[in-house]
Amino acid sequence: HTRDRPFACADCNKSFSWKSALISHQHIHTSEKPYTCGECGKTCRRKEQLRRHLQVHQDLGPMPQGDL
């Protein structure tokens, strides 16, 4: 089974089935980290990374201010 991959990265020619996957991939080339944790300010390239990071705060409880 081959999937159509019409969305190609202009920087490395890697191709994707979904435009959203291409946009997420392009953050690697630009060093952009558009997802920010509201608790501690940590930034992530992908929404899934931020979701995983947020579990740290759920497990530890609220972080005291100034302990970044």
**What digits encode the pLDDT tens for the residues 41-64?**
999 999 999 999 999 998 765 555
Rounded Cα distance, 55 and 10, in Å: 34
> Which domain does 57 fall in, by range?
33-62
Segment holding 15, helix H or strand E: strand 15-16
Average pLDDT over residues 20-40: 94
Instruction: Identify whether residues 39 and 25 lie together within a single domain.
Output: no
Rounded Cα distance, 30 and 40, in Å: 23
Residue-level pLDDT at 8: 98
Average pLDDT over residues 18-47: 94
Q: Token pair of 31, please?
A: 């060093």
Instruction: Identify whether residues 17 and 40 lie together within a single domain.
Output: no
Instruction: Identify whether residues 1 and 21 lie together within a single domain.
Output: yes
Residue-level pLDDT at 64: 59
